Amino acid sequence: MTEVALVPSPEAGAALAAGLIAETLAQRADAVLGVATGSTPLGVWAQLRDQGVDVASTPAFALDEYVGLRTGHPESYRSVLEREYAAPLGVDPTLLRVPGDDGGPLATAGARFEAAITRAGGIDLQILGIGRTGHIGFNEPGSSLASRTRVKALTEQTRSDNARFFDHAGQVPTHCLTQGLGTILQARTLVLLAFGSAKSNAVTRAVEGPLSSSCPGSVIQLHPHVIVIVDEEAGASLEYRDYYRFAWEHRSLDSIQAPA
Ligand code: GLP
């Protein structure tokens, strides 16, 4: 099921996600992580450091990458993850894989990336953000719910949302390589984070809306183990938020009490 944790602040949400990663590593020494870019997961990496969670020897697979940026471009997701995730946490960059970073042909990059995930034993915990179009990874509206890692065109909304990382909007690539929705569903646990009112519509559509490729994030409803971490703003329009709050507070079987 989808569990929704409503947290008081993005910092609390990041601490919770870091704790979930720590639990995964404690359960499985050879765990594999799925990492994400965007602003949202940055607090999680900071919390991993603050909590002393050792991911230095944990293989990590990224969700997506722009197509068309030169190797080493500071805004390529490979560079972003090396700078913001691998370097501060002491992760050997060879343990980080980003779609298309092996230098092979673009047409088969998706298949090679999927094969690398399979060789690593699959992803144990995948960190996800969500875009305002409802995208996860870079799976824009219309993405097949069964899609695999492939090249996609970006929407104008996503290009304009991501223009803040470039000198001007025209520099934002038009295409990307992204894990597919079917690929993401194969991770053993999904942890989706969203903070702030700009995400509330996408969060509500993903968690409670109809399962539809019009909101690619809604594919999480097909996954048996999803934790959605939202602050009050991002969770504001969730119809069942009081229920989620109650269920989260009583998620331990020990907390169940007989009614009076
Ligand atoms: C990009 C990434 C997504 C990310 C989204 C939201 O488009 N490809 O993986 O979830 O941005 O980013 P932010 O967390 O900065 O709002």
d(CA 73, CA 109): 19
Q: What is the pLDDT of residues 146-196, one digit of tens each?
A: 999 999 999 999 999 999 999 999 999 999 999 999 999 999 999 999 999
Q: What is the pLDDT of residues 55-102, one digit of tens each?
A: 999 999 999 999 999 999 999 999 999 999 999 999 999 999 999 999
The band of 40, judged by pLDDT with boundaries at 50, 70 and 90, is very high
Worst-scoring range by mean pLDDT, 158-162, 209-213, 243-247? Answer: 158-162
Does this model's pTM top 0.75? yes
d(CA 50, CA 249): 25
pLDDT at 257: 80
Mean pLDDT of 107-129: 98
36 in ligand 1 pocket by Cβ < 6 Å?
Answer: yes
Residue 254 has pLDDT above 80, yes or no: no
pLDDT at 37: 97
pLDDT at 2: 87
pLDDT at 162: 93
| Ligand 1 atom closest to Cα of residue 194 | 14
Sequence length of the chain is: 260
Residue 242 has pLDDT above 90, yes or no: yes
DSSP 229: E
13 in ligand 1 pocket by Cβ < 6 Å?
Answer: no
Q: What is the pLDDT of residues 10-31, one digit of tens each?
A: 999 999 999 999 999 999 999 9
Answer for the pair 55, 25: CB distance below 8 angstroms, yes or no. Answer: yes
Residue 238 has pLDDT above 90, yes or no: yes
Answer for the pair 53, 22: CB distance below 8 angstroms, yes or no. Answer: yes
Distance from Cα 119 to the centre of ligand 1, integer Å? 27
> Measured in whole angstroms, how far is the alpha carbon of residue 102 from the centre of its chain?
22
Q: Where are the beta strands (DSSP E) in 36-89?
A: 60-62, 64-67
Mean pLDDT of 103-129: 98
Residue 1 has pLDDT above 90, yes or no: no
Domains of the chain: 2-133+147-231 (3.40.50.1360)
> Measured in whole angstroms, how far is the alpha carbon of residue 130 from the centre of its chain?
7
Q: Which two tokens stand for residue 52?
A: 């002393």
| Ligand 1 atom closest to Cα of residue 63 | 9
